[in-house]
Structure formats: structure tokens, C-alpha cells
Amino acid sequence: NGVIGVLQLQGDFAEHEAMLKSLGAKVRGVRSLEDLESVDALVLPGGESTTIAKLLVALQMMPRLKQRIVEQGMPVFGTCAGCILMANELVDYPEQPRIGCMDISVRRNAYGAQIDSFECEVASDVQQFQEGPPLRAILIRAPEIMAFNKGAVKLLAHRGERAVLVQQGHMLATTFHPEITTDSRIHAYFLQMVSEALDAQKQG
């Protein structure tokens, strides 16, 4: 329950919407400040973070978006470009406009030209992700989470020494693209976060 918004400015929002709907979620596209007010949670898709940020600034959505996430605890899930938009620190592009809500340090396009895109297995200690086949990550000109605040941010999946899926309270971010696979466990995990956040808001 709750309406899950998917930011529809640029990128692979349609894949996110299809996956959320397959899990029974009520989904609404978000293209304006007004749309933003009608959702209980938000997915920031993969795409081009500079383009998405430019549009968010032009539509004057940035301050309200940050306020809803940081001050009002709106659950948010960012994949790839979405993860870049959420990072408090952006190595190499410190001035790039972004929401900046999560205690992670991210490097864009971290995997170099010859391996622009690839797929690999990632490891996780989270029970839902250990049940069934191993999590696989599709990385497309992916960013890398170089560091995170270990007191606040929980590591949910990693590839070698690098974090690829992290959670900070009501915020979830990944460098890969679960929305273009048939594995909906990470979206289901996010929907669980959303219902917990909405329950807590009702009680508070």
C-alpha cells in the first residue's frame, strides 16, 4: 500500500514501473512538483544523472524533493544514475547538481571504457537475497560506491570489496540495474521498506 512514484524525466523508468506493478504496487509517474505531492515513495531510475539533474533543477523540484526525503522521511530507491543523485559526495564531479541525501561517496563511470557494461554475481548477507539464486548485477556505465558512513549506512550487497547495494534508513541505492532483470527481490525489499515507513508514520 501507498503510491510508489517513479521519476519519469529520463532513463529506464518504464522498466521500474513494470517491475513494481508485477509486485502489486500502485505506481504513478512523477514529472512535476505537483506529481511529487501525490506519492508516498519515489524511485529514481538509471539513465544519465546530469540530464536528470538538469531537468530537476529546471522544474524546480530539487529543494522539495530533498525536503520530502530528508525531513519527511519519504522512502526513496535510486538505481545507477539514481544512486549518483542521492550521493552526498561525488568524487570527480563535486559540483554536479544532485539531491544529496545519502552518506555515500560515489564515483561516476567508474568501470572504464572497455568494460562499459557487464554482468556479474554479487554477494549479500541479507536473508531475502540469499534465498534462491545468487543476486546478479548488470552494470551499465556504472558508478562505484567508493566509501560510505559505516555508522549510518548498511551494506546489503557487495562485489569483492565494493558496495553495490546500500541502505540508510528509508533510503536504498544500488549501482546496478535490478529493473532490467526478472529478479524482483530488491524491488520487493524496497516495497517492504515503504510499508514499514508508512506504518511508522501512521503511529508517529
From the CB of 63, what's the least distance to ligand GLN, in Å? 21
User: Binding of ligand GLN at residue 47 (CB under 6 A)?
Assistant: yes
Amino acid at 165: L
User: Binding of ligand GLN at residue 48 (CB under 6 A)?
Assistant: yes
Alpha helices of the chain — where are they, by DSSP H?
Answer: 13-22, 33-37, 49-58, 62-66, 81-86, 127-130, 185-203
Going residue by residue from 107 to 146, which x/- string records binding to ligand GLN, judged by CB under 6 A? -xx------------------------------xx-----
- Could you tell me how many residues of this chain bind ligand GLN (CB under 6 A)? 11
* Catalytic residue ranges: 80, 177, 179
The answer to whether residues 178 and 20 touch, using CB atoms and an 8 Å cutoff, is no
Among the listed residues 112, 113, 161, 163, the one whose alpha carbon sits nearest the alpha carbon of residue 137? 163
Binding site listing for L-glutamine: 47-49, 108, 140-141
Task: Note the residues at the interface with ligand GLN (CB under 6 A).
Answer: 46-49, 80-81, 84, 108-109, 140-141
